[in-house]
Amino acid sequence: MPESGTAPPSAFGRHLPMNGEDSKVRVLAVEVEDAPNMLTKVSGAIRRRGFHVRGISVGPSRQPGRFRITLHVDHGHAEADQVRKQLERLVEVVEVVDLTGDDVHSRELVVARVTASELEALIKRGAKVISTAADGTTVEFSGEREDVGEFVDELHRHGIVDVARSGPVVLKRA
Amino acid sequence: MILEALEREGVEYIFGYPGGANLPIYQHLREHPKLKHILVRHEQGAAHMADGYARACGRPGVVFATSGPGALNLVTGLCTAYMDSVPMVAITGQVVSTQVGRDAFQESDVIGATSSVTKHSYQVTKIDQLPRVIHEAFHIATTGRPGPVLIDICKDVQQADAERVSPERPPAARRADFFQIPGYKLNGHVDLDGAARAARALSEAERPVILAGHGVILSHAESQLQELAETAAVPVGTTLLGIGAFPVKHPLSLHMTGFMGTGWNIKAVQNSDVLMMVGMRIDDRVTAKLAGFAPNVKTFIHIDIDGSEMGKNVRPHIELVADAKQALAAITPHVGKIQPDRGKWLAQIDAWREEHPLRYKRSNGRLQPQDVLIDMYRRAKSEAIVVADVGQNQIWAALWWNYDRPGLFINSGGAGTMGFALPAALGAKFARPDLPVWCVAGEGGFVMTAQELSVAVEHQLDVKIVLLNNFSLGMVRQFQDDFYGGVRSQVDLTHMPDFVKLSEAYGMPARRVERFEDIAAAFDAAEKTKGPFLIDFRIDPEANVYPIVPLGKSLNEFWEAPDA
């Protein structure tokens, strides 16, 4: 991992600020009701309080009619706990759990098409081949944010045709 | 069903304006004589009237507007209510649901435009959401920290609602089990340990101060506040919106705090060692430069019903997320032996009160706004509602206020919305026909919503308008004079209508006053007249607001009025 201040090999791979800046990022699991305006309300609350989204994923929650949003949010000049408190004010938000600093399972997913013929290095890192075609091989990889970042760096060395990367999903360890 | 739901909520007045996208609602309005509809002359006026109505009687104000420009004209009024935690329900028409997103005639994204200035909002696209949504909206608007809620109803839903032959009765309205808002949680009990610690901190403090905000008035906690202050021998100041929460003439009163607060209040806050702030946001108008706010405080105590206020601006040492009334009532019994030197502190405050009195220059022979207000307040005797606009008129009206009762001073504190006073005063009069209502405004703000004079005349509302006319945007002019190098830029309002003729054109009597000697006679005439009356007070154009803290400076650096 590069030291703070040096340019990372790929901005895409390291989309989260590192080191000192990282301490301003909160990790939140937000349970919301499935309403047409839900994302507008959540993103609006984040924007107007001067916070900044560093990573987001949205998926159905265990409970029908609800979604779970996993957020990495920079709290800017506000007190760290303001992110949770401001989101909790929204009527659409059922619960906010702040997982920052907790012992968690955290995963991001990357799906990429690479030109490389030799995939061994990627497979050794844990990549799975999804399909092979004339214009490249499609692989997937999931792991912690840093591992995904390093994997993407590795991909760059192999020649990426296309790549898609998800936001984080985080689950508290039992 | 929409109108029936409003009836079930006990709605008396609707302030609104019809248009293409809310015609089905208006078609059936006449069948509901309990719902009195006030036709405003601009939707912003409707929002401010509903706001003034709600602040004057505590019940939520109700607004109707059509889609597009109609709904968007509400935005400033919603923001005004949101910033000051005023309960309001706005029902806007929306294009038919299948037209949404097609840029139909008078379509706008009302939810998108208003979500930052509402406590909650709904878009109703299916009839089965009614009437639940309406009852939820009233519940959300009026509970916890109150605020405006907007319901955007597609025209086809209104149509289907109007055509329903036998409307299905909802289960007993306002029952929580019929709501679908699991994310809406109200704060429960007071943390008793925190209350005990707060009481101990106040008792043991050498130099304690309590500041009370709008939350004290919203929670009807003024007697609990007074009891705590007297039991613990702690002086009490209020924010601009907290005016009335503590009797101004009480020996422990510090009057108004903040960057245009009284000198003795500022001195007390800046020298305090324990500062309790109740039902307030501690915004920049209270703290001035945050780094210089209350620098000697060892224990900040913050009480607010909204947990997100804790640490938003000032990190408290003791926090109570609770209703002000319950929290204050929980603290008082724990007040112990008062710090023996408390008498010295109170004596010091009395000395500051003598040293830094409110004063104004009156030697130049011009009509002074304070003279006008002193006469007005003398007549009101704590039994009239005063609605102020924004600017110098607002601060003069706040500082020269002399009541001992809460909820009688209404103004736009957080948003600072010019043009608020006239429509809000009319709303207040609809809410409290039993009380005299005075509207205090500068000429700049007054003309922003002056079209609502038609409403005053149409309903013969007994509202007296005190226009403090200085031919300029006075507060901006003062800031330019004092803090922006004396460069007067775009503040000249010489070209204004003749306000006496303007009032007469609307069909109401008015009079002009230019000399101190004529103040009383004009007020006599206003009081004798039934219905609306305007007095155009041509005040000293150089009159300023003092004390004032220079912009960006700390409270310690407040300026006082030059020698009288």
Length of chain B measured in residues: 564
pLDDT band at B349 (very low <50, low <70, confident <90, very high): very high
CB contact under 8 A, A79 and B311: yes
What pLDDT sits at residue B64? Answer: 98
With a threshold of 0.95, tell me whether the complex ipTM lies above it. Answer: no
Q: What was the pLDDT predicted at B176?
A: 64
Lowest mean pLDDT among B75-79, B172-176, B251-255, B376-380: B172-176
Please state, in angstroms and rounded to a whole number, the distance separating the CA atoms of residues A136 and A139.
10
Phi, psi of A105 (to 5 degrees): -95, 125
Q: Which of A44-48, A133-137, B77-81 ranks highest by mean pLDDT?
A: B77-81
B121 contacts A33? CB cut-off 8 A: no
Nearest chain A alpha carbon to B311: A79
Contact B532, B461 (CB under 8 A): yes
Question: Does the pLDDT value for residue B152 go beyond 50?
Answer: yes
Residues B10-49: pLDDT tens digits?
A: 999 999 999 999 999 999 999 999 999 999 999 999 999 9
For residues B243, B248, B250 and B255, what is the CA-based torsion angle, rounded to 10 degrees? 80
**DSSP conformation letters of B109-124:** -HHHHHGGGSSEEEEE
Q: What is the mean pLDDT of residues A90-109?
A: 95
pLDDT tens per residue across span A38-71: 999 999 999 999 999 999 999 999 999 999 999 9
For residue A22, pLDDT beyond 70: no
Of B162-166, B226-230, B385-389, where does mean pLDDT reach its minimum?
B162-166
- Give yes or no for B307 touching A (CB within 8 A): yes
Q: Does A81 touch chain B (CB under 8 A)?
A: yes
Please give the pLDDT value at position B460: 98
Q: What is the pLDDT of residue A11?
A: 41
B315–chain A nearest CA distance, Å:
9
With CA atoms as reference, the chain A residue closest to B308 would be A85
3-state helix, strand, coil in chain A (%, to 5): 25, 40, 35
- Please indicate if any CB of chain A lies within 8 Å of the CB of B182: yes
Of B125, B183, B310, the CB nearest to A92: B183
Residue A33 contacts residue A95 (beta carbons within 8 Å): no
Helix B192-204 vs helix B222-232: angle between axes, to the nearest 10 degrees? 50
> For residue B104, is pLDDT > 70?
yes
Mean pLDDT of chain A: 85
Pick A85's closest partner by Cβ from B115, B308, B315: B308
* Per-residue pLDDT tens digits for B274-284: 999 999 999 99
Our CA-based measurement puts residue B314 at a distance from the nearest CA of chain A, in whole angstroms, of 10
Name the percent of chain B lying above pLDDT 90. Answer: 92
Using DSSP, state whether B558 is helix, strand or coil: coil
What's residue B236's pLDDT? 98
Q: Which residues of B touch A36 (CB under 8 A)?
A: 123, 125
pTM, to two decimals: 0.94
Question: Closest partner residue to A89 among B181, B308, B311, by Cβ?
Answer: B308
Whether the CB of A77 is below 8 Å from some CB of chain B: the reply is no
pLDDT of amino acid B562: 85
Model confidence at B334: pLDDT above 80: yes
pLDDT at B302 over 50: yes
Nearest to A44 among B115, B119, B306 (CB): B115
Q: Which of residues 72-111 of B touch A (CB under 8 A)?
A: 111
pLDDT at B167 over 80: no
Please count the other Cβ atoms lying within 10 Å of the Cβ belonging to residue A35: 16
Give the distance from residue A44's alpha carbon to the nearest chain B alpha carbon, in angstroms.
Answer: 7
Q: Closest approach of chain A CAs to the CA of B44, in angstroms?
A: 23
pLDDT of residue A2: 37
CB contact under 8 A, A91 and B183: yes
Look at B181 and A40 and tell me if their CB atoms are within 8 Å: no
Picking from B244, B144, B142, B221, the residue whose alpha carbon sits closest to that of residue B185 is B144
Give the pairing type, strands B510-513 and B148-154: unpaired
Is B184 an 8 Å CB contact of chain A?
Answer: yes
Residue A79 is nearest to which of B111, B120, B315, comparing CB atoms? B315
| Peptide linkage before B131 cis (omega within 30 of 0) | yes
Q: Report the C-alpha gap between A70 and A57 in whole angstroms.
A: 5
Give yes or no for residue B178 having a pLDDT over 90: no
Predicted pLDDT of residue A9: 41
Determine the residue among B152, B184, B187, B313 to mutate to test chain A binding: the one whose Cβ has the most chain A Cβ atoms within 10 Å.
Answer: B184
Q: What is the mean pLDDT of residues B524-535?
A: 98
Chain A contact for B183 (CB, 8 A cutoff):
yes
Is the pLDDT assigned to residue A15 strictly greater than 60?
no
B197 in reach of chain A (CB within 8 A): no
Name the strand (E) or helix (H) holding A25: strand A25-33
* Residue where the block lists tokens 């002056």: B450
Cβ-based neighbours of A168, under 8 Å, separated by 6 or more: A27, A55, A57, A70, A72, A106, A107, A108, A145
Stretch B528-543: mean pLDDT, rounded?
97
B336, pLDDT greater than 60: yes
Nearest CA in chain B to A87: B308
Alpha carbon A12 to its chain's center: 12
